[in-house]
Amino acid sequence: MKKIIEYSPGTKEREQLVKEIQRIKNESPVEMPLIIGGKEVKTDEIIEIRCPHNKDLVLARAHLAGKEELKEAIEKALDAWEKWSEMEWYHRVSVFRRAADLLAKKYRFRNIAAIMLNLSKNPYEAEIDLAELVDFWRFNSYYAKFIYEHQPDQAPGELNRLEWRPLEGFILAVTPFNFYSIGGNLPTAPAIVGNVTLWKPSRSVIFANYEIMKILIEAGLPKGVVNFVPFSSKNVDVVLSNPDFAGLHFTGSYETLVVLWKKISENLEKYKNFPRIVGETGGKDFIIVHPSANVKSVVANLIRGAFESQGQKCSAISRAYIPQSLWAMIKESLLSELQKVKVGPVDDLESFMGAVIDGNAFRKIVSYIEYAKSNPETYKIIYGGHYDSSKGWFIEPTVILTSDPQGKLMTEEIFGPVLTIYVYPDERWHQILKLCAETSPFGLTGAVFANDRNAIVEAERILRYSAGNFYINDKPTGAIVGRQPFGGARHSGTNDKAGFWLNLLRWLNPRTIKETTLPVEDWRRPFQAH
Protein backbone atom coordinates (compact mmCIF):
# COMPACT_ATOMS: atom_id res chain seq x y z
CA MET A 1 0.00 0.00 0.00
CA LYS A 2 1.43 3.34 -1.05
CA LYS A 3 0.69 5.53 1.97
CA ILE A 4 1.12 4.57 5.62
CA ILE A 5 -0.79 6.87 7.98
CA GLU A 6 1.29 8.03 10.95
CA TYR A 7 -1.58 9.11 13.28
CA SER A 8 0.47 12.03 14.60
CA PRO A 9 -1.04 14.26 17.34
CA GLY A 10 -3.44 16.84 15.95
CA THR A 11 -4.18 15.02 12.68
CA LYS A 12 -7.69 14.21 11.48
CA GLU A 13 -6.67 10.56 11.03
CA ARG A 14 -5.76 10.30 14.71
CA GLU A 15 -9.07 11.89 15.68
CA GLN A 16 -11.00 9.49 13.46
CA LEU A 17 -9.13 6.51 14.89
CA VAL A 18 -9.93 7.53 18.46
CA LYS A 19 -13.63 7.73 17.52
CA GLU A 20 -13.55 4.24 16.00
CA ILE A 21 -11.86 2.81 19.08
CA GLN A 22 -14.57 4.30 21.27
CA ARG A 23 -17.29 3.11 18.88
CA ILE A 24 -16.09 -0.49 19.19
CA LYS A 25 -15.96 -0.20 22.96
CA ASN A 26 -19.50 1.13 23.02
CA GLU A 27 -20.75 -1.67 20.76
CA SER A 28 -19.04 -4.46 22.69
CA PRO A 29 -19.69 -7.25 23.11
CA VAL A 30 -21.02 -8.22 19.70
CA GLU A 31 -22.19 -11.67 18.67
CA MET A 32 -20.11 -13.38 15.98
CA PRO A 33 -21.66 -16.34 14.19
CA LEU A 34 -19.99 -18.74 11.78
CA ILE A 35 -20.24 -18.00 8.07
CA ILE A 36 -21.01 -21.21 6.16
CA GLY A 37 -22.06 -21.06 2.54
CA GLY A 38 -22.57 -17.32 2.92
CA LYS A 39 -25.04 -17.71 5.80
CA GLU A 40 -24.71 -16.92 9.49
CA VAL A 41 -24.75 -20.04 11.64
CA LYS A 42 -25.03 -20.07 15.43
CA THR A 43 -24.09 -22.91 17.75
CA ASP A 44 -24.31 -23.88 21.40
CA GLU A 45 -20.58 -23.42 21.97
CA ILE A 46 -19.71 -19.76 22.56
CA ILE A 47 -16.47 -18.19 23.77
CA GLU A 48 -15.63 -14.66 24.86
CA ILE A 49 -13.03 -12.64 22.95
CA ARG A 50 -11.34 -10.22 25.34
CA CYS A 51 -9.05 -7.25 24.86
CA PRO A 52 -5.50 -8.26 25.91
CA HIS A 53 -4.64 -4.94 27.58
CA ASN A 54 -8.05 -4.62 29.27
CA LYS A 55 -9.26 -8.06 30.31
CA ASP A 56 -12.58 -6.65 31.50
CA LEU A 57 -13.49 -5.57 27.96
CA VAL A 58 -15.32 -8.37 26.15
CA LEU A 59 -15.15 -7.51 22.46
CA ALA A 60 -17.27 -10.39 21.19
CA ARG A 61 -19.06 -13.61 21.96
CA ALA A 62 -18.06 -15.94 19.18
CA HIS A 63 -19.72 -19.17 18.08
CA LEU A 64 -17.54 -22.23 17.49
CA ALA A 65 -18.23 -24.87 14.88
CA GLY A 66 -18.91 -28.44 15.95
CA LYS A 67 -18.63 -31.57 13.86
CA GLU A 68 -21.93 -31.06 12.06
CA GLU A 69 -21.12 -27.46 11.16
CA LEU A 70 -17.75 -28.53 9.79
CA LYS A 71 -19.36 -31.19 7.64
CA GLU A 72 -21.78 -28.56 6.32
CA ALA A 73 -18.91 -26.16 5.63
CA ILE A 74 -17.10 -28.82 3.59
CA GLU A 75 -20.27 -29.54 1.63
CA LYS A 76 -20.86 -25.84 0.88
CA ALA A 77 -17.23 -25.33 -0.09
CA LEU A 78 -17.33 -28.22 -2.56
CA ASP A 79 -20.58 -26.90 -4.01
CA ALA A 80 -18.94 -23.49 -4.51
CA TRP A 81 -15.88 -25.12 -6.08
CA GLU A 82 -17.90 -26.22 -9.13
CA LYS A 83 -18.30 -22.66 -10.41
CA TRP A 84 -15.44 -20.89 -8.67
CA SER A 85 -12.76 -23.25 -9.99
CA GLU A 86 -13.92 -22.65 -13.56
CA MET A 87 -14.45 -18.90 -13.29
CA GLU A 88 -12.08 -16.81 -15.43
CA TRP A 89 -9.18 -15.50 -13.39
CA TYR A 90 -9.97 -11.84 -13.96
CA HIS A 91 -13.41 -12.26 -12.40
CA ARG A 92 -11.88 -13.93 -9.36
CA VAL A 93 -9.17 -11.31 -8.83
CA SER A 94 -11.77 -8.56 -9.25
CA VAL A 95 -13.32 -9.66 -5.96
CA PHE A 96 -10.04 -9.35 -4.10
CA ARG A 97 -9.05 -6.08 -5.77
CA ARG A 98 -12.35 -4.68 -4.55
CA ALA A 99 -11.79 -6.11 -1.08
CA ALA A 100 -8.37 -4.43 -1.00
CA ASP A 101 -9.89 -1.07 -1.89
CA LEU A 102 -12.65 -1.45 0.70
CA LEU A 103 -10.08 -2.21 3.37
CA ALA A 104 -7.70 0.57 2.35
CA LYS A 105 -10.43 3.20 2.24
CA LYS A 106 -13.99 2.63 3.48
CA TYR A 107 -13.17 0.32 6.41
CA ARG A 108 -9.60 1.34 7.17
CA PHE A 109 -10.12 3.07 10.52
CA ARG A 110 -12.65 0.52 11.68
CA ASN A 111 -10.15 -2.27 11.12
CA ILE A 112 -7.18 -0.37 12.57
CA ALA A 113 -9.22 0.08 15.75
CA ALA A 114 -10.20 -3.60 15.74
CA ILE A 115 -6.56 -4.68 15.38
CA MET A 116 -5.49 -2.38 18.22
CA LEU A 117 -8.15 -3.61 20.63
CA ASN A 118 -8.01 -7.30 19.73
CA LEU A 119 -4.26 -7.75 19.06
CA SER A 120 -3.00 -4.97 21.39
CA LYS A 121 -0.93 -3.31 18.68
CA ASN A 122 -0.07 0.38 18.64
CA PRO A 123 -1.40 2.53 15.77
CA TYR A 124 1.71 2.12 13.61
CA GLU A 125 1.80 -1.66 14.05
CA ALA A 126 -1.92 -1.90 13.32
CA GLU A 127 -1.53 0.29 10.24
CA ILE A 128 1.24 -1.80 8.71
CA ASP A 129 -0.63 -5.00 9.56
CA LEU A 130 -3.69 -3.77 7.68
CA ALA A 131 -1.54 -2.47 4.82
CA GLU A 132 0.05 -5.90 4.47
CA LEU A 133 -3.33 -7.53 3.89
CA VAL A 134 -4.15 -4.90 1.25
CA ASP A 135 -0.82 -5.76 -0.39
CA PHE A 136 -1.47 -9.50 -0.16
CA TRP A 137 -4.74 -9.13 -2.04
CA ARG A 138 -3.34 -6.78 -4.68
CA PHE A 139 -0.04 -8.57 -5.24
CA ASN A 140 -1.56 -12.05 -5.23
CA SER A 141 -4.01 -10.85 -7.88
CA TYR A 142 -1.05 -9.66 -9.94
CA TYR A 143 0.90 -12.88 -9.33
CA ALA A 144 -2.07 -14.97 -10.45
CA LYS A 145 -2.04 -13.16 -13.80
CA PHE A 146 1.76 -13.55 -13.92
CA ILE A 147 1.47 -17.33 -13.48
CA TYR A 148 -1.35 -17.80 -15.98
CA GLU A 149 0.66 -15.99 -18.63
CA HIS A 150 3.49 -18.50 -18.35
CA GLN A 151 2.99 -21.02 -21.12
CA PRO A 152 5.22 -23.68 -22.71
CA ASP A 153 7.19 -23.34 -25.94
CA GLN A 154 5.62 -24.07 -29.29
CA ALA A 155 6.93 -26.11 -32.25
CA PRO A 156 5.83 -26.57 -35.88
CA GLY A 157 2.77 -28.77 -36.12
CA GLU A 158 1.73 -28.56 -32.46
CA LEU A 159 -0.03 -26.20 -30.06
CA ASN A 160 1.00 -26.44 -26.39
CA ARG A 161 -0.53 -24.87 -23.33
CA LEU A 162 -0.76 -25.19 -19.59
CA GLU A 163 -4.12 -25.10 -17.89
CA TRP A 164 -3.51 -23.74 -14.40
CA ARG A 165 -6.12 -25.74 -12.53
CA PRO A 166 -6.88 -25.20 -8.83
CA LEU A 167 -6.59 -28.18 -6.53
CA GLU A 168 -9.36 -30.74 -6.53
CA GLY A 169 -11.13 -30.41 -3.19
CA PHE A 170 -10.96 -27.88 -0.34
CA ILE A 171 -8.19 -26.17 1.63
CA LEU A 172 -8.03 -25.82 5.42
CA ALA A 173 -6.53 -22.45 6.42
CA VAL A 174 -5.31 -22.32 10.02
CA THR A 175 -4.33 -18.76 10.94
CA PRO A 176 -2.41 -17.29 13.91
CA PHE A 177 -3.23 -14.63 16.48
CA ASN A 178 -0.29 -12.32 15.89
CA PHE A 179 -0.98 -10.95 12.41
CA TYR A 180 -4.34 -9.78 11.13
CA SER A 181 -2.84 -9.79 7.62
CA ILE A 182 -1.91 -13.47 7.79
CA GLY A 183 -5.42 -14.16 9.04
CA GLY A 184 -6.75 -12.68 5.83
CA ASN A 185 -4.10 -14.06 3.48
CA LEU A 186 -4.09 -17.77 4.30
CA PRO A 187 -7.73 -18.48 3.32
CA THR A 188 -7.69 -16.11 0.33
CA ALA A 189 -4.36 -16.81 -1.42
CA PRO A 190 -5.61 -20.27 -2.50
CA ALA A 191 -9.03 -18.79 -3.33
CA ILE A 192 -7.55 -16.23 -5.73
CA VAL A 193 -6.36 -19.08 -7.95
CA GLY A 194 -9.67 -20.93 -7.83
CA ASN A 195 -9.70 -22.94 -4.60
CA VAL A 196 -12.26 -23.02 -1.79
CA THR A 197 -11.36 -22.87 1.88
CA LEU A 198 -12.39 -23.52 5.43
CA TRP A 199 -10.93 -20.77 7.61
CA LYS A 200 -10.03 -21.62 11.20
CA PRO A 201 -8.91 -18.35 12.81
CA SER A 202 -7.10 -18.25 16.14
CA ARG A 203 -9.79 -18.03 18.78
CA SER A 204 -7.99 -15.10 20.48
CA VAL A 205 -8.53 -12.81 17.47
CA ILE A 206 -11.88 -13.92 16.07
CA PHE A 207 -13.16 -10.37 16.56
CA ALA A 208 -10.62 -8.73 14.19
CA ASN A 209 -10.65 -11.64 11.73
CA TYR A 210 -14.43 -11.48 11.43
CA GLU A 211 -14.05 -7.91 10.13
CA ILE A 212 -12.04 -9.37 7.23
CA MET A 213 -14.80 -11.87 6.48
CA LYS A 214 -17.38 -9.08 6.33
CA ILE A 215 -15.27 -7.19 3.80
CA LEU A 216 -14.93 -10.28 1.59
CA ILE A 217 -18.69 -10.69 1.59
CA GLU A 218 -19.25 -7.04 0.67
CA ALA A 219 -16.64 -7.36 -2.07
CA GLY A 220 -18.84 -9.98 -3.75
CA LEU A 221 -17.06 -13.22 -2.85
CA PRO A 222 -19.46 -16.02 -3.86
CA LYS A 223 -21.04 -17.99 -1.06
CA GLY A 224 -19.03 -20.96 0.13
CA VAL A 225 -15.68 -19.95 -1.37
CA VAL A 226 -14.37 -18.99 2.08
CA ASN A 227 -16.16 -20.41 5.12
CA PHE A 228 -15.47 -18.78 8.48
CA VAL A 229 -15.46 -21.66 10.97
CA PRO A 230 -13.48 -21.21 14.18
CA PHE A 231 -13.52 -24.57 15.93
CA SER A 232 -11.93 -26.54 18.72
CA SER A 233 -8.88 -28.56 17.67
CA LYS A 234 -10.59 -31.67 19.01
CA ASN A 235 -12.79 -31.59 15.90
CA VAL A 236 -10.00 -31.32 13.33
CA ASP A 237 -10.33 -35.00 12.38
CA VAL A 238 -13.65 -34.21 10.73
CA VAL A 239 -11.77 -32.02 8.26
CA LEU A 240 -8.57 -34.01 7.84
CA SER A 241 -10.30 -37.35 7.32
CA ASN A 242 -12.47 -36.08 4.47
CA PRO A 243 -11.51 -37.59 1.06
CA ASP A 244 -11.78 -34.15 -0.56
CA PHE A 245 -9.21 -32.54 1.74
CA ALA A 246 -6.69 -31.03 -0.72
CA GLY A 247 -4.35 -28.87 1.31
CA LEU A 248 -3.34 -27.16 4.54
CA HIS A 249 -2.33 -23.50 4.67
CA PHE A 250 -0.92 -23.00 8.15
CA THR A 251 0.82 -20.47 10.35
CA GLY A 252 1.37 -21.34 13.99
CA SER A 253 3.65 -23.32 16.22
CA TYR A 254 6.06 -26.03 15.12
CA GLU A 255 4.41 -28.48 17.51
CA THR A 256 0.93 -27.91 16.05
CA LEU A 257 2.15 -28.28 12.46
CA VAL A 258 3.81 -31.59 13.36
CA VAL A 259 0.55 -32.87 14.89
CA LEU A 260 -1.46 -31.85 11.81
CA TRP A 261 1.12 -33.28 9.40
CA LYS A 262 1.02 -36.63 11.21
CA LYS A 263 -2.78 -36.69 11.07
CA ILE A 264 -2.69 -35.96 7.36
CA SER A 265 -0.14 -38.75 6.86
CA GLU A 266 -2.39 -41.20 8.68
CA ASN A 267 -5.20 -40.41 6.23
CA LEU A 268 -3.21 -40.48 2.98
CA GLU A 269 -4.97 -43.51 1.56
CA LYS A 270 -8.37 -41.84 2.05
CA TYR A 271 -7.60 -38.80 -0.05
CA LYS A 272 -8.34 -38.36 -3.74
CA ASN A 273 -5.02 -36.51 -4.11
CA PHE A 274 -1.85 -36.05 -2.11
CA PRO A 275 -2.62 -32.90 -0.07
CA ARG A 276 -0.41 -29.84 -0.33
CA ILE A 277 1.03 -28.66 2.98
CA VAL A 278 2.25 -25.10 3.29
CA GLY A 279 3.31 -24.26 6.82
CA GLU A 280 5.13 -21.42 8.53
CA THR A 281 5.96 -21.94 12.18
CA GLY A 282 8.30 -20.21 14.61
CA GLY A 283 11.81 -18.94 14.83
CA LYS A 284 14.70 -18.29 17.18
CA ASP A 285 15.70 -15.21 15.29
CA PHE A 286 19.04 -13.52 15.72
CA ILE A 287 21.15 -10.43 15.27
CA ILE A 288 24.89 -10.96 15.04
CA VAL A 289 26.98 -7.81 15.40
CA HIS A 290 30.48 -7.42 13.92
CA PRO A 291 33.05 -5.10 15.57
CA SER A 292 32.74 -2.75 12.58
CA ALA A 293 28.99 -2.17 13.13
CA ASN A 294 27.33 1.19 13.80
CA VAL A 295 26.35 1.25 17.50
CA LYS A 296 23.34 3.58 17.18
CA SER A 297 21.89 1.47 14.37
CA VAL A 298 22.36 -1.73 16.35
CA VAL A 299 20.56 -0.30 19.38
CA ALA A 300 17.63 1.08 17.40
CA ASN A 301 17.12 -2.20 15.59
CA LEU A 302 17.45 -4.30 18.74
CA ILE A 303 14.58 -2.34 20.31
CA ARG A 304 12.36 -2.42 17.24
CA GLY A 305 13.18 -6.00 16.31
CA ALA A 306 12.78 -7.47 19.78
CA PHE A 307 9.98 -5.43 21.34
CA GLU A 308 7.58 -4.17 18.69
CA SER A 309 4.33 -6.13 18.92
CA GLN A 310 5.60 -7.30 22.34
CA GLY A 311 7.98 -9.68 20.55
CA GLN A 312 5.01 -11.72 19.33
CA LYS A 313 6.34 -12.10 15.82
CA CYS A 314 7.81 -15.28 14.43
CA SER A 315 10.53 -12.98 13.05
CA ALA A 316 11.24 -11.08 16.28
CA ILE A 317 14.81 -10.97 17.61
CA SER A 318 15.21 -13.16 20.66
CA ARG A 319 18.99 -13.73 20.65
CA ALA A 320 21.87 -11.40 19.91
CA TYR A 321 25.62 -11.85 19.63
CA ILE A 322 27.60 -8.69 20.42
CA PRO A 323 31.40 -8.19 20.32
CA GLN A 324 33.21 -7.32 23.53
CA SER A 325 34.67 -4.14 22.02
CA LEU A 326 31.19 -2.65 21.41
CA TRP A 327 29.31 -4.07 24.38
CA ALA A 328 29.84 -1.20 26.84
CA MET A 329 28.59 1.39 24.34
CA ILE A 330 25.66 -0.77 23.17
CA LYS A 331 24.64 -1.61 26.72
CA GLU A 332 24.67 2.01 27.88
CA SER A 333 22.65 3.21 24.91
CA LEU A 334 20.24 0.26 24.96
CA LEU A 335 19.36 0.63 28.64
CA SER A 336 19.00 4.38 28.25
CA GLU A 337 16.65 4.09 25.27
CA LEU A 338 14.55 1.32 26.85
CA GLN A 339 13.67 3.66 29.70
CA LYS A 340 11.78 5.73 27.14
CA VAL A 341 9.65 2.76 26.00
CA LYS A 342 6.13 3.08 27.39
CA VAL A 343 4.19 -0.12 28.09
CA GLY A 344 0.44 0.17 28.51
CA PRO A 345 -2.98 0.05 26.86
CA VAL A 346 -2.53 0.83 23.16
CA ASP A 347 -5.67 2.96 23.07
CA ASP A 348 -3.45 5.38 24.98
CA LEU A 349 -1.77 6.39 21.76
CA GLU A 350 1.49 7.18 23.54
CA SER A 351 2.17 3.50 24.34
CA PHE A 352 4.90 1.79 22.31
CA MET A 353 4.15 -1.69 23.68
CA GLY A 354 0.81 -3.23 24.55
CA ALA A 355 -0.06 -6.52 26.21
CA VAL A 356 0.69 -10.07 25.09
CA ILE A 357 -2.28 -11.85 23.60
CA ASP A 358 -3.65 -13.95 26.47
CA GLY A 359 -3.01 -15.75 29.74
CA ASN A 360 -1.36 -18.78 28.16
CA ALA A 361 1.16 -16.62 26.32
CA PHE A 362 1.74 -14.53 29.44
CA ARG A 363 2.49 -17.56 31.61
CA LYS A 364 4.83 -19.10 29.05
CA ILE A 365 6.88 -15.92 28.64
CA VAL A 366 6.99 -15.30 32.38
CA SER A 367 8.29 -18.85 32.93
CA TYR A 368 11.41 -17.98 30.91
CA ILE A 369 11.96 -14.79 32.88
CA GLU A 370 11.62 -16.73 36.12
CA TYR A 371 13.98 -19.40 34.82
CA ALA A 372 16.60 -16.71 34.24
CA LYS A 373 16.06 -15.35 37.74
CA SER A 374 16.47 -18.80 39.26
CA ASN A 375 19.74 -19.43 37.38
CA PRO A 376 21.91 -16.40 38.24
CA GLU A 377 25.11 -18.26 37.44
CA THR A 378 24.09 -18.30 33.76
CA TYR A 379 21.69 -15.38 33.33
CA LYS A 380 21.59 -11.77 34.49
CA ILE A 381 18.58 -9.57 33.84
CA ILE A 382 19.98 -6.17 32.93
CA TYR A 383 16.66 -4.56 32.05
CA GLY A 384 13.01 -5.32 32.78
CA GLY A 385 11.96 -8.66 34.16
CA HIS A 386 8.71 -7.34 35.64
CA TYR A 387 5.17 -8.24 34.63
CA ASP A 388 1.61 -7.52 35.72
CA SER A 389 -1.61 -9.34 34.83
CA SER A 390 -4.01 -7.44 37.09
CA LYS A 391 -5.64 -5.45 34.28
CA GLY A 392 -4.03 -6.85 31.13
CA TRP A 393 -1.28 -9.25 30.09
CA PHE A 394 1.63 -6.82 30.44
CA ILE A 395 5.32 -7.80 30.36
CA GLU A 396 8.15 -5.30 30.39
CA PRO A 397 10.76 -5.38 27.64
CA THR A 398 13.33 -7.69 29.18
CA VAL A 399 17.02 -7.94 28.32
CA ILE A 400 19.03 -10.83 29.70
CA LEU A 401 22.78 -11.34 29.55
CA THR A 402 23.94 -14.96 29.33
CA SER A 403 27.25 -16.73 29.76
CA ASP A 404 25.97 -19.81 27.93
CA PRO A 405 25.41 -19.27 24.18
CA GLN A 406 23.69 -22.64 23.89
CA GLY A 407 21.49 -22.40 26.97
CA LYS A 408 17.71 -22.56 27.23
CA LEU A 409 17.07 -18.89 26.51
CA MET A 410 19.34 -18.88 23.44
CA THR A 411 17.81 -21.98 21.84
CA GLU A 412 14.09 -22.12 22.66
CA GLU A 413 11.40 -19.96 21.11
CA ILE A 414 9.84 -17.65 23.72
CA PHE A 415 7.53 -15.55 21.52
CA GLY A 416 7.52 -12.52 23.76
CA PRO A 417 9.46 -9.38 24.74
CA VAL A 418 12.57 -11.19 25.98
CA LEU A 419 15.97 -10.62 24.37
CA THR A 420 18.97 -12.71 25.42
CA ILE A 421 22.46 -11.41 24.64
CA TYR A 422 25.78 -13.22 24.47
CA VAL A 423 28.93 -11.11 24.43
CA TYR A 424 31.80 -12.69 22.50
CA PRO A 425 35.53 -11.90 22.15
CA ASP A 426 36.12 -9.97 18.93
CA GLU A 427 38.69 -12.43 17.64
CA ARG A 428 36.10 -15.25 17.71
CA TRP A 429 33.92 -13.71 14.97
CA HIS A 430 34.27 -16.73 12.65
CA GLN A 431 33.52 -19.21 15.43
CA ILE A 432 30.51 -17.17 16.58
CA LEU A 433 29.02 -17.32 13.10
CA LYS A 434 29.25 -21.11 13.17
CA LEU A 435 27.84 -21.20 16.70
CA CYS A 436 24.90 -19.06 15.64
CA ALA A 437 24.24 -21.33 12.67
CA GLU A 438 24.20 -24.46 14.82
CA THR A 439 22.43 -23.24 17.96
CA SER A 440 18.75 -23.33 16.96
CA PRO A 441 16.62 -25.90 15.12
CA PHE A 442 14.76 -23.02 13.48
CA GLY A 443 15.70 -21.20 10.29
CA LEU A 444 13.34 -18.25 9.85
CA THR A 445 15.01 -14.81 10.10
CA GLY A 446 18.31 -13.32 11.10
CA ALA A 447 20.49 -10.27 10.58
CA VAL A 448 24.11 -9.20 10.52
CA PHE A 449 25.29 -5.70 11.40
CA ALA A 450 28.66 -4.74 9.95
CA ASN A 451 30.40 -2.13 7.83
CA ASP A 452 33.17 -4.52 6.85
CA ARG A 453 32.12 -6.08 3.52
CA ASN A 454 34.29 -9.16 4.05
CA ALA A 455 32.46 -9.78 7.33
CA ILE A 456 29.09 -9.42 5.61
CA VAL A 457 30.08 -11.88 2.88
CA GLU A 458 31.33 -14.38 5.44
CA ALA A 459 28.18 -14.08 7.54
CA GLU A 460 25.95 -14.50 4.50
CA ARG A 461 27.83 -17.66 3.52
CA ILE A 462 28.06 -19.37 6.92
CA LEU A 463 24.46 -18.47 7.87
CA ARG A 464 23.08 -19.57 4.49
CA TYR A 465 20.63 -22.09 5.94
CA SER A 466 20.06 -20.33 9.26
CA ALA A 467 17.46 -17.90 7.94
CA GLY A 468 15.01 -17.94 5.07
CA ASN A 469 14.91 -14.13 5.36
CA PHE A 470 18.37 -12.68 5.97
CA TYR A 471 18.95 -8.97 6.60
CA ILE A 472 22.09 -6.88 6.33
CA ASN A 473 22.19 -3.84 8.61
CA ASP A 474 18.48 -4.05 9.33
CA LYS A 475 16.25 -5.77 11.85
CA PRO A 476 14.99 -9.21 10.76
CA THR A 477 11.32 -8.22 11.01
CA GLY A 478 8.90 -6.31 8.80
CA ALA A 479 9.06 -8.19 5.50
CA ILE A 480 7.09 -6.37 2.81
CA VAL A 481 4.91 -8.19 0.29
CA GLY A 482 6.55 -8.37 -3.11
CA ARG A 483 9.89 -7.07 -1.80
CA GLN A 484 10.95 -9.58 0.84
CA PRO A 485 8.99 -12.81 0.23
CA PHE A 486 8.66 -14.40 3.66
CA GLY A 487 9.37 -17.89 4.99
CA GLY A 488 12.01 -20.15 6.48
CA ALA A 489 13.04 -23.79 6.54
CA ARG A 490 14.30 -26.24 9.15
CA HIS A 491 11.73 -26.24 11.98
CA SER A 492 10.40 -22.88 10.76
CA GLY A 493 8.31 -24.35 7.97
CA THR A 494 8.10 -25.28 4.31
CA ASN A 495 9.47 -21.93 3.06
CA ASP A 496 6.87 -21.37 0.37
CA LYS A 497 7.31 -17.60 0.57
CA ALA A 498 4.08 -15.81 1.44
CA GLY A 499 3.57 -12.66 -0.57
CA PHE A 500 5.14 -14.08 -3.73
CA TRP A 501 4.11 -16.14 -6.74
CA LEU A 502 5.86 -19.20 -5.32
CA ASN A 503 3.14 -19.53 -2.70
CA LEU A 504 0.34 -19.44 -5.28
CA LEU A 505 2.00 -22.24 -7.27
CA ARG A 506 1.39 -24.56 -4.32
CA TRP A 507 -2.37 -24.15 -4.80
CA LEU A 508 -2.33 -24.99 -8.50
CA ASN A 509 -2.43 -28.33 -10.30
CA PRO A 510 -1.30 -27.64 -13.88
CA ARG A 511 -2.52 -29.69 -16.83
CA THR A 512 -0.38 -29.86 -19.97
CA ILE A 513 -2.39 -29.86 -23.19
CA LYS A 514 -0.89 -30.64 -26.59
CA GLU A 515 -2.85 -30.30 -29.82
CA THR A 516 -1.38 -31.67 -33.05
CA THR A 517 -2.41 -29.63 -36.09
CA LEU A 518 -1.80 -32.37 -38.69
CA PRO A 519 -2.10 -35.80 -37.00
CA VAL A 520 0.00 -38.60 -38.48
CA GLU A 521 -1.82 -41.13 -40.64
CA ASP A 522 0.83 -43.84 -40.81
CA TRP A 523 2.00 -45.65 -37.69
CA ARG A 524 5.33 -46.80 -39.21
CA ARG A 525 8.67 -45.07 -38.50
CA PRO A 526 11.06 -43.98 -41.31
CA PHE A 527 13.62 -46.70 -40.48
CA GLN A 528 11.08 -49.37 -41.40
CA ALA A 529 10.78 -50.65 -44.93
CA HIS A 530 7.43 -49.80 -46.50
The set of catalytic residues is 280, 314
| Contact predicate 182/209, CB 8 Å | no
Q: In angstroms, rounded to a whole number, what is the distance separating the alpha carbons of residues 282 and 252?
A: 7
DSSP run (H or E) holding 31: strand 30-32
- Are the C-beta atoms of residues 292 and 452 closer than 8 Å to each other? yes
Quote helix, strand, coil % in the chain, to nearest 5: 40, 25, 35
State how far the alpha carbon of 481 is from the alpha carbons of 133, 140, 518, in Å. 9, 9, 46
How many of the other CB atoms lie within 10 Å of CB of 386? 11
Return the ∠ at Cα 260 (arms to 67 and 268), rounded to 5°.
Answer: 85
Handedness of CA 117, 477, 14, 180 (dihedral sign): negative
Question: Quick one: which of 421, 142, 457 has its CA closest to 299?
Answer: 421
Query: 178, 58, 126: which is closest to 349 by C-alpha?
Result: 126
H/E segment holding residue 433: helix 429-439
Residue 281 contacts residue 253 (beta carbons within 8 Å):
yes
Q: How far apart are CA 474 and CA 488, in angstroms?
A: 18
Could you tell me the CA-to-CA distances from 128 to 56, 161, 175, 232 in Å, in that order? 27, 40, 18, 30
Give CA–CA dist 61/84, Å, rounded. 32
CB distance 168 to 272 below 8 Å = yes
Residues in contact with 271: Cβ distance below 8 Å, sequence separation at least 6, in sequence order: 169, 243, 244, 245, 246
Sequence-separated contacts (24+) of 379-383 with Cβ below 8 Å = 379/403, 379/407, 379/409, 379/420, 382/331, 382/335, 383/334, 383/335, 383/338
Backbone angles phi, psi at 45, to 5 degrees: -100, 115
Q: Say how far apart CA 33 and CA 46 lie, in whole Å.
A: 9
Cα dihedral value 20, 22, 23, 27, nearest 10 = 140
Q: Please answer whether residues 58 and 48 qualify as being in contact, where contact means their C-beta atoms are separated by less than 8 angstroms.
A: yes
As a whole number of angstroms, the distance between CA 188 and CA 481 comes to 15
Q: How far apart are CA 330 and CA 314, in angstroms?
A: 25
Residue type, 57: L
Element (H, E) at 40: strand 39-41
